[in-house]
């Protein structure tokens, strides 16, 4: 064992044995210098290259000062960088620079959420594209131009003004005439200062008929909206209806609509005892036997077969009624043609009345409202007989008549009726506009929402 250990030690240190006896300069192998050079941990290639450049620059400078070097050698002072600004940097520094380019550093957190930041970025992009060139002052004086003081006042104001959004394109009905009503309507013959008796009577009857028609339409609409109230008013009277409460109204309406059920309830309320009611409930809740279910199913099958035979018999009879069916179809077709001709005639009649008398169809509306003709003016014939100065002035003025003509022709929407629903709608619209004008800073918006 001792001999084996000594032999292995000799094998391991065999290359170093000649070095102990020989001189280092003579016995050192050729690859020892390159191996020792690879041990260096610092890369000094760039330092050596810089030193060589300094020596070359110094030589050229000395030659140029002495006047011995040519002029073309001065070009060696400048070099062209083809590797970029990362030459000479370590790998970690290069990775840090590349990472900073791909993932830029985040802005400081000032309380803005990601959604608000995206909104601000979109607004900045929109301002970049929508920026207009400043208008230069015209050489000539423009009388209708806005003064500069207004622009300065608006630029220095702290009030946020939101302009109303206008139409983005022209409407399709811009060049079309919406109504054939004339701008000025001729007055009736009975509305003159000294009308004839027949013309005045015709005007008075026409005004009364129009007023009665308007009242009937209003009553029909009210009856459609409140059918139960009108039924009770017709049955018990308006005075009795006012004295009823809700329970009494429901009871009275039930007596009108289903009197037999009310009478049966009133008759059975005193006669039926508790035992009879209990027995009736138990009879209703009694479960059916299987034999009873079988009889019901058999009866249903028999009824279905009977109904099928009846339908087949009717079908067999209808085979001989083809002529009658064709005659009925022909009559229906003639009726539809007559109905179509009648509708065309009514349409032409409405158009004629619109062109001559200015009668606007009831189905025509502009926006949410439709035009309603005012009551006809009936002059006071007794006052007119005394003279023109005694004639009382009516409530219609020239401005009101022109505005009515504009609305009648469909140039402007008509004024809505002053109702409770309209007042509520207007209040909601004004409140919505006020809420939309409120401004909250994005720095405080998150804190307000988290309360």
Average confidence (pLDDT) over 42-49: 75
| Structure confidence at residue 395 as a pLDDT band (50, 70, 90) | low
Share of the chain above pLDDT 90, in %: 10
Task: Give the other-Cβ count within 10 Å of 310's Cβ.
Answer: 10
Given a cut of 50, whether residue 2 has pLDDT beyond it is no
Quote the CA–CA distance of 174 and 148 in Å, as a whole number.
Answer: 35
* Largest pairwise CA distance in the chain: 164
* 210-234 pLDDT tens trace: 889 889 988 898 889 888 888 888 8
Alpha helices in 319-413 (DSSP H): 322-356, 381-384, 398-408
- What is the Cα 379 distance to its own chain's centre? 52
Average pLDDT value for the chain: 75
Task: Specify the long-range contacts of residues 396-402, CB closer than 8 Å, at least 24 apart.
Answer: none
* 117-129 pLDDT tens trace: 888 888 888 777 6
**369 φ, ψ to 5°?**
-115, 165
Average confidence (pLDDT) over 328-344: 94
Average confidence (pLDDT) over 300-327: 88
* 91-101 pLDDT tens trace: 888 888 888 88
The answer to which of 22-26, 102-106, 159-163, 383-387 has the lowest mean pLDDT is 22-26
pLDDT score of 142 = 67
Average confidence (pLDDT) over 7-17: 44
Nearest residue to 406 (alpha-carbon basis) of 371, 375, 355: 371
Quote the CA–CA distance of 324 and 318 in Å, as a whole number.
Answer: 10
| Structure confidence at residue 139 as a pLDDT band (50, 70, 90) | low
Average confidence (pLDDT) over 396-423: 84
Q: If 0-12 CB within 10 Å is exposed, 13-18 middle and 19+ buried, where does residue 360 land?
A: buried
Distances from the Cα of 426 to the Cα of 96, 133, 166, 366, angstroms = 62, 41, 21, 18
pLDDT score of 344 = 95
CA-CA-CA-CA torsion sign (265, 268, 274, 275)? negative
Crossing angle of helices 227-236 and 197-225, rounded to 10°: 110
Crossing angle of helices 114-129 and 442-449, rounded to 10°: 150
DSSP, residue by residue, 253-310? HHHHH-HHHHHHHHHHHHH--HHHHHHHHHHHTPPPPHHHHHHHHHHHHHHHHHHHHH
Which residue shows structure tokens 């207009």? 132
The answer to which of 139-148, 172-181, 354-363 has the lowest mean pLDDT is 139-148
- What is the Cα 216 distance to its own chain's centre? 40
Q: What is the pTM of this model?
A: 0.43
| Structure confidence at residue 335 as a pLDDT band (50, 70, 90) | very high
CA-CA-CA-CA torsion sign (17, 19, 20, 26)? positive
Q: If 0-12 CB within 10 Å is exposed, 13-18 middle and 19+ buried, where does residue 366 land?
A: middle
pLDDT score of 67 = 63
| Structure confidence at residue 301 as a pLDDT band (50, 70, 90) | very high
Given a cut of 50, whether residue 14 has pLDDT beyond it is no
């Amino acid at each position: 064992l001792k001999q084996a250990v000594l032999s292995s030690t000799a094998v391991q240190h065999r290359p170093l044995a000649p070095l102990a006896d020989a001189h280092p300069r003579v016995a050192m192998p050729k690859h020892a210098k390159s191996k020792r050079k690879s041990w260096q941990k610092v890369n000094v290639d760039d330092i050596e290259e810089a030193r060589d450049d300094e020596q070359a620059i110094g030589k050229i400078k000395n030659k140029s000062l002495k006047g011995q070097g040519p002029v073309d050698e001065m070009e060696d002072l400048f070099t062209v960088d083809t590797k970029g600004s990362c030459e000479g940097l370590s790998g970690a520094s290069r990775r840090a620079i590349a990472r900073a380019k791909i993932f830029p550093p985040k802005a400081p957190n000032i309380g803005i959420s990601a959604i608000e930041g995206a909104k601000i970025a979109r607004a900045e992009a929109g301002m970049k594209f929508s920026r207009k060139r400043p208008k230069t002052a015209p050489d000539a004086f423009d009388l209708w131009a806005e003064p500069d003081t207004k622009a300065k006042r608006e630029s220095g104001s702290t009030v946020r003004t939101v302009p109303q959004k206008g139409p983005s394109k022209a409407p399709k009905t811009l060049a079309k005439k919406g109504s054939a009503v004339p701008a000025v309507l001729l007055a009736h013959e009975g509305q003159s200062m000294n009308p004839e008796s027949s013309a005045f009577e015709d005007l008075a009857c026409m005004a009364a008929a129009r007023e009665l028609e308007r009242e009937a339409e209003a009553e029909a609409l009210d009856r459609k909206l409140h059918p139960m109230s009108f039924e009770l008013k017709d049955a018990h009277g308006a005075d009795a209806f006012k004295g009823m409460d809700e329970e009494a109204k429901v009871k009275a309406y039930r007596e009108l609509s289903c009197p037999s059920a009310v009478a049966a309830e009133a008759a059975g309320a005193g006669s039926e005892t508790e035992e009879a009611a209990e027995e009736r409930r138990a009879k209703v809740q009694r479960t059916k036997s299987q034999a009873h279910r079988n009889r019901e199913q058999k009866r249903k099958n028999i009824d279905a077969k009977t109904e099928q035979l009846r339908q087949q018999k009717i079908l067999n009879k209808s085979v001989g009624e083809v002529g009658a069916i064709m005659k009925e179809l022909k009559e229906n077709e003639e009726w539809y043609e007559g109905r179509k001709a009648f509708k065309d005639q009514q349409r032409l009649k409405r158009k004629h009345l619109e062109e001559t008398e200015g009668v606007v169809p009831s189905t025509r509306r502009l926006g949410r409202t439709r035009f309603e003709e005012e009551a006809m003016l009936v002059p006071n014939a007794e006052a007119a007989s005394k003279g023109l100065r005694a004639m009382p002035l009516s409530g219609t003025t020239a401005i009101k008549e022109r505005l009515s003509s504009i609305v009648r022709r469909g140039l402007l929407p008509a004024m809505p009726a002053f109702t409770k629903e309209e007042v509520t709608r207007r209040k909601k619209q004004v409140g919505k506009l006020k809420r939309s004008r409120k401004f909250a800073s994005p720095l405080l918006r998150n804190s307000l929402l988290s309360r």
